[in-house]
Amino acid sequence: YLEFMGQKMQESTRKDLERKQEQQKERKESNKNRWGNGKAHLEQISLLDADGQQQAAFPTGSPVRLRIAYSVNEPVQNAVLGIGIFRQDGVHCYGTNTRIDMQNAFDLTRDGTAEFQIDALWLLPGVYTLDVAIEAGEGIPVDYYKGAVTLQMTSSMGDVGVMRVPHQWKIAQDS
Q: What percent of the chain has pLDDT over 90?
A: 75
- The pLDDT tens digits of the residues spanning 112-162 come to 999 999 999 999 999 999 999 999 998 899 999 999 999 999 998 888 989
Find out whether 117 and 57 touch, Cβ atoms under 8 Å. Answer: no
Q: Hey, how many other C-beta atoms are within 10 angstroms of the C-beta on 166?
A: 8
Stated pTM of the model: 0.79
60 closest CA partner among 134, 174, 132, 165: 165
Domain limits, the chain: 1-32, 37-154
Look at the domain 37-154 and name its fold: Coagulation Factor XIII; Chain A, domain 1 (2.70.50)
Interstrand relation of 126-136 and 79-87 (parallel, antiparallel or unpaired)? antiparallel
> What backbone torsions phi and psi does residue 145 show, to the nearest 5 degrees?
-115, 100
Q: What's the whole-number mean pLDDT along residues 31-56?
A: 94
Q: Hey, how many other C-beta atoms are within 10 angstroms of the C-beta on 94?
A: 15
> What is each CA distance from 148 to 33, 45, 70, 84, in whole angstroms?
8, 7, 13, 10
Q: What's the whole-number mean pLDDT along residues 44-57?
A: 95
